[in-house]
Amino acid sequence: MVLNTQVFKGASELLKKSKSENNEPEGPVTENGKTSKNKTTPSKILDEILSTLPPEISRYTKKKLTEVIDYEPRIGVMGKTGVGKSSLCNAIFQQDVCKVSHVEACTRDIEELHIDVGGRKLTIVDLPGVGESKERDVEYKSLYEEQIPNLDLILWVIKADDRVLAPDEEFYKNVIKPLKAEGKILFVINQADKIEPSFEWDRSLNSPSTAQVQNLETREMYIYERLFETSNGCVAVSAPLNYNIGNLVKKMVLRLPKKSKAGVYSTLREEYKTAEIKNESKDGFNETVKGVLDHVIDSAPIPTILKEPLKKAKDYICNKISSFFGSWF
Ligand SMILES: Nc1nc2c(ncn2[C@@H]2O[C@H](COP(=O)(O)OP(=O)(O)OP(=O)(O)O)[C@@H](O)[C@H]2O)c(=O)[nH]1
Ligand SMILES: [Mg+2]
């Protein structure tokens, strides 16, 4: 009973606050005119935002929201050896501090690359298998079965001038399809500069000639027919030349689950953090926060009538948290 009154009182206070305050300006919090990314730690902010809720609910909500804020995305990369997987990751992500670890997965050792950008972490999982012997597909199936549920997205890299697609096709059919993992895959045609006639690549504009564009489109269509579903999406890039990486990043962020967009956003190279990608990531973050609050309200051990003020206070909490997006991500 004490809890019920507290909930009601807390939610009403939040409501009152929400009416008297305007939304905070977007962006990092400033202190003495200086912007600081890490000073406003989510923990302190959440304590403040949730302070009027009863302790039990506040603690639980904080735990859940911290999981959302601290989420560390995991991105898989796969494709035959030498297609440009490492070059591609270098082109997409900031890699100020990184370390590589070898993780035992099934009977194989897989490589994980850990990116840390000012405390925001992301893991790239280098997935082996494509282009190896067909006999090992069964073994790879169990490895992928183990890995895929923990991946937010998989980039499957194919070389633009690779004429032998059969190994990719086999792997897709034998490993990916049975695991129903098609939805997590985004195909990347790398080494676009090498598509015929490769001497026509415009170095000053860093772009393909008309004939190369046509051949890239034909290639994409061919891959679509042979390999994957239209829902997968496909984008042609050249990693070391930074050609079309912005487009790839956009497709990646659109395809990511809502919960991981913001985490990925924060580790992108600055040039790819466009307003569009930021908005998409922020929307994903806000939706996830809303989902957490809905869950908390639904599962709180209080009568339905007392949940109403909490529901109204939800918008206030969401707006408050959202206003810190710029300083956290
Ligand atoms: N011309 C051109 N060369 C590229 C491109 N992407 C990668 N390369 C080159 O291809 C070679 C292999 O690239 P990596 O990024 O090491 O390929 P990988 O898939 O990580 O290779 P493994 O880790 O051995 O499987 C390197 O010499 C790269 O510089 C591209 O888009 N265009
Ligand atoms: Mg590599």
Least confident of 9-23, 185-199, 206-220, 232-246: 9-23
Q: How far is the CA of 298 from the centre of ligand 1 (A)?
A: 50
Residue with the smallest CA separation from ligand 1 atom 1 is 191
Closest ligand (CA of 82): 1
**DSSP H or E run through 89:** helix 85-92
What's the pTM value of the predicted model, to 2 decimals? 0.87
36 pLDDT higher than 80: no
Closest ligand (CA of 131): 1
As its CATH architecture, domain 74-255 has 3-Layer(aba) Sandwich (3.40)
- Of ligand 1's listed atoms, the one at least distance from the Cα of 80 is 25
74-95 mean pLDDT: 94
85-103 mean pLDDT: 81
Q: Where in the chain is the domain with CATH 3.40.50.300?
A: 74-255
Query: What residues does 117 pair with on adjacent strands?
Result: 120
Both tokens of 323, joined, read 């206003």
Angle, helices 245-255/85-92, rounded to nearest 10 degrees: 80
85 pLDDT higher than 50: yes
Q: pLDDT digit string (tens) for 137-183? A: 888 889 999 999 999 999 999 999 998 889 999 899 889 989 988 88
Q: How far is the CA of 91 from the centre of ligand 1 (A)?
A: 11
Q: Can you give the pLDDT at residue 79?
A: 95
Percent of the chain surpassing pLDDT 70: 84
Query: What residues does 114 pair with on adjacent strands?
Result: 99, 123
242 pLDDT higher than 90: yes
Q: How many CB atoms lie within 10 A of CB 193?
A: 23
- Of ligand 1's listed atoms, the one at least distance from the Cα of 191 is 31
Residues with CB under 6 A from ligand 1: 81-87, 190-191, 193-194, 238-240
How many angstroms separate the Cα of 62 from the Cα of each of 26, 106, 125, 281, 327?
21, 36, 30, 21, 18
Q: Can you give the pLDDT at residue 308?
A: 82
